[in-house]
Amino acid sequence: MTSFMSQLSHNLGLKIEEHSYILNYLGALLVLIGLMMCLPLVPYWLYDEGGHRISALTFILPALASILLGALIQKNFSYKTPSVMGAMIITALGWILVGIIGGFPYMLGLHKSFIDAFFESVSGFTTTGITVFEGLDAMPRCILFWRSFTQWLGGLGILSFFIAVSFRGGSTAAVLFSSEGHKIDVSRPVPGIFHTLKILWTIYGIFTLASFFCFWAGGMNFFDALNHCFTCISTGGFSTHDLSFDFWARHHFRYAWFLEYSAIIFMLAGGANFLIHYKVFTGDITAIFRDYEMKWYWSFIFGALALVVIDHLIIFARQEVRSLGLLHHLFRTALFQVSSLISSTGYLTTDINAAFFPALSKQVLLVLMIIGGCVGSTSGGIKVLRAAFLSRLFSTHLRRLSLPRQASVPLVISGKVISEAEIQRVAALFWGWMVIIVAGSFVTAAFSDLSPWQSFSGMISAMGNMGPFYFSVHKMASLSWVVKFTYIMGMLAGRLEILPLAMLFAAVFRRK
């Protein structure tokens, strides 16, 4: 790691001594992940999974190695407040490192290859939810718990969790939070990053507990309710069953409908800006409908829902008008899938590749996968605010064309004039987002036998941290390591919003 830092500093034209503090942060992160990796030992012993099923060393060995290595690194490298570039490097390297460490239980316990274990781990921490694992129903519960828990940890960000539990406030928290957070100007509920993080994690915890009790009351057993409360509000989408949320309906659970509607509520909550939740919790309930981005959020949801329902009724008109029960099933299925994809959760009650969704519906769902949820949420995608931003930018440009050249027509959103720097930043990120999707789709097509449609859907799912795609999990598991590695980079780029990863690669490959 020291030699890597030397090369990195050389390419950046910096002195290694001045930036060795990066290793201190990475060491602290290793200690934290090592401690978190001990938690799956609880279900391991509770459900008596020892003996022939799986060894406790599956978690003990990587946890100890991570803690000891992290402590050793921390001891040998001093701590200081990072620069903006240093924070970007910490963020990119930290997420890659956590993804590697988090994959060891899959290699040790399930005997998966490194690339598959790394893939599943990154998919978990980035709350993407794409899986290369089949046979979830028969998988050891400690492994299932770890998969779900990685998504809960990654929901608000690994570094935000690190800041919250390490009590590193002030300028350190500000620069780390900024490098990991959404690259757009958003307000905070209270002054100070550390206080903001406490509020965010408190709201996150409240939603986690609330979803647990709803799932448990709806008929899930304790273990399923615990795992799904981790992966619902985090908009991650990992399930303990291969059938995802369709498991309970298929097995004729009496309140399967209640479980689905509960999931819809918490998925949409995860896809909304947590600042809006704070306003609601402090008495400003109308903020849910008054906020500029939330208006667009609801418009996308209900617009997509209407298109999917109408498209299905047109194609299957004779079958679907027979009873109110069938109409309710159509509405529930459409609402569930729209909510799952706009929030980037990825739960399924019906496979998005199934005939239930005609061609137009599939296209609508793909658009939702590109847009994603709100800024300041746990969801992926380019974000609703950016989509609204670019739409307003286009209409503003049209207005300028009809006015004299000397006329000033600023871009105004919610009564705020948007600066030229902000416009350039959003446009640059959107362009980078689309370039990565296209490049990843080309790689997928070149190294697989997937169709162009499937190739695009796979990379959109990875980059948008979504989960579903227009081919099977079995096919995903069989893809070349080149495609899987491309998706890993896409998942990280999407979760970190490109810049930290771009900075890392620019630093590594820059030539003087």
3-class SS of residue 471: coil
pLDDT band at 11 (very low <50, low <70, confident <90, very high): low
- The most distant pair of C-alpha atoms in the chain lies apart, rounded to whole Å, by 80
**pLDDT tens digits along 199-216:** 889 999 999 999 999 999
Does the structure show a pLDDT above 50 at 512?
no
Selected residue with higher pLDDT from 156 and 406: 156
276 burial level (CB within 10 Å; 0-12, 13-18, 19+): buried
Does the structure show a pLDDT above 60 at 2?
no
CA 168 – CA 160 distance, rounded (Å): 10
Per-residue pLDDT at 255: 92
Selected residue with higher pLDDT from 461 and 12: 461
390 burial level (CB within 10 Å; 0-12, 13-18, 19+): middle
**pLDDT tens digits along 409-426:** 777 877 788 888 888 888
**pLDDT tens digits along 490-510:** 999 999 888 888 878 877 766
Does the structure show a pLDDT above 50 at 184?
no
* Residue type, position 359, single letter: A
Average pLDDT value over all residues in the chain:
87
The tokens of 157 are what? 């960000």
Per-residue pLDDT at 121: 96
CA atoms within 13 A on the CB side of 447: 18
* Residue type, position 233, single letter: I
Among 63, 1, 73, 78, residue whose Cα is nearest residue 32: 63
Selected residue with higher pLDDT from 129 and 498: 129
* Residue type, position 75, single letter: K
Which span out of 279-288, 396-405, 423-432, 503-512 was modeled with the highest average pLDDT? 279-288
Per-residue pLDDT at 395: 86
* Residue type, position 459, single letter: M
CA 118 – CA 152 distance, rounded (Å): 17
Residue ranges of the alpha helices (H) in 343-418?
359-371, 384-401
pTM over 0.95: no
309-327 average pLDDT score: 75
Does the structure show a pLDDT above 60 at 161?
yes
Does the structure show a pLDDT above 90 at 439?
yes
Per-residue pLDDT at 183: 45
Does the structure show a pLDDT above 50 at 53?
yes
148-172 average pLDDT score: 76
Selected residue with higher pLDDT from 80 and 233: 233
